[in-house]
Amino acid sequence: MGNLKVRIKKLNDKAVLPTYGSPYAAGADLYACIDDDIMIEPDKTVLIKTGLSMEIPVGFAAFIYARSGLASKRGLAPANKVGVVDCDYRGEVMVALHNHSDIAQAVTVGERIAQLVIAPYYTADFEECDELSETVRGEGGFGSTGRK
């Protein structure tokens, strides 16, 4: 699969462009572009700047996910679980980092804080109707599949 060109503007000289940790990584690391370390208290959320704005191609969006090590070892993950950066957004990319642990956690200058995945998306033409087609599953939800 070929590479997609994404134009990035540095809003701060200290900003670091996203980087991939391995040749087949789906997510590129985003870095904290902050002047000083920031403490995030337990069960609190802080907006962390990246110092970057992007021009994502039409038909694509950037999705911001937790870095697995940061989330599992320190309890720091995006507050909204998955951030969505639309292709028409030109403001600074920021991460609402939430501390799920029971101790204060420091975010350090230049630390990798999240990962960014660029993916295509579809928009839907929502069409109201009176009936939907029947399926075997029907209206079963929230753990209903696989039950006997």
Decide which of 141 and 94 is more confident.
94
pLDDT value of residue 56: 98
**pTM across the whole model:** 0.89
| Fold of the domain spanning 7-120 | Deoxyuridine 5'-Triphosphate Nucleotidohydrolase; Chain A (2.70.40)
CB burial of 3-26 (b: ≥16 within 10 Å; e: otherwise) equals: eeebeeeebeeebbebeeeeeeee
Tokens of 106: 């420091």
What would the DSSP string read from start to end of 34-76?
-SS-EEE-TT-EEEEE-SEEEEPPTTEEEEEE--HHHHHHH-E
Query: Which tens digits make up the pLDDT trace of 28-52?
Result: 999 999 999 999 999 999 999 999 9
Instruction: Quote the DSSP letter at residue 102.
Output: S
Nearest to 105 by CA among 20, 29, 48, 27: 48
Strand partners, 98: 45, 77
pLDDT value of residue 113: 98
∠ at Cα 139 (135, 144), nearest 5°?
A: 100
Nearest to 116 by CA among 69, 73, 61: 61
pLDDT value of residue 138: 80
Task: Please determine, for residue 1, whether its predicted confidence score (pLDDT) is greater than 70.
Answer: no
